[in-house]
Amino acid sequence: MRKKIAIGVGLVLLALLVTVLVVLWMQPAGPPLQIGMSEEEVDRAMGNPGVNLAYSGYPVLMYFQGPDLIGNEQRVIVRFDSEGRLADWSVTSSRTRPPWLDWALKAVGW
């Protein structure tokens, strides 16, 4: 009986370890953008209005996304052309402590 319990606990721990490793290696999905979108379409696709970084003839906006369930955050910088259409974008990803982990640590006093 003890052997069966030990095997069961070992399998559960192995499954938990594999899950944690998969989550740690998961990268956030890229933004849902397409070249040629208008500024309003980009705002809708990103889910919030962008922060204006510079205006030297063409707007450059920055959008923030996250943190998601596992703590991934994205900073997306988009550049528009002379016609006000999306020309290109760059994504910077970072990982922070997930919000649910902060709540759990506060609950136990850490």
Name residue 59's beta-bridge partners: 55
**Closest of 56, 45, 49, 48 to residue 80, by C-alpha:** 56
Whether pLDDT at 100 is above 70: yes
Could you give all domains of the chain from N- to C-terminal order, each with its CATH number? Answer: 2-107 (3.30.1450)
| pLDDT at site 23 | 64
Tokens of residue 8, six digits: 């069961």
Tokens of residue 96, six digits: 């922070």
Residue pLDDT, tens place only, 16-46: 777 766 666 666 667 889 999 999 999 999 9
| pLDDT at site 95 | 77
3-state helix, strand, coil in the chain (%, to 5): 35, 30, 35
Residue pLDDT, tens place only, 39-97: 999 999 998 888 888 766 788 999 988 777 777 788 999 999 989 899 999 998 887 77
Please answer whether residues 63 and 31 qualify as being in contact, where contact means their C-beta atoms are separated by less than 8 angstroms.
Answer: yes
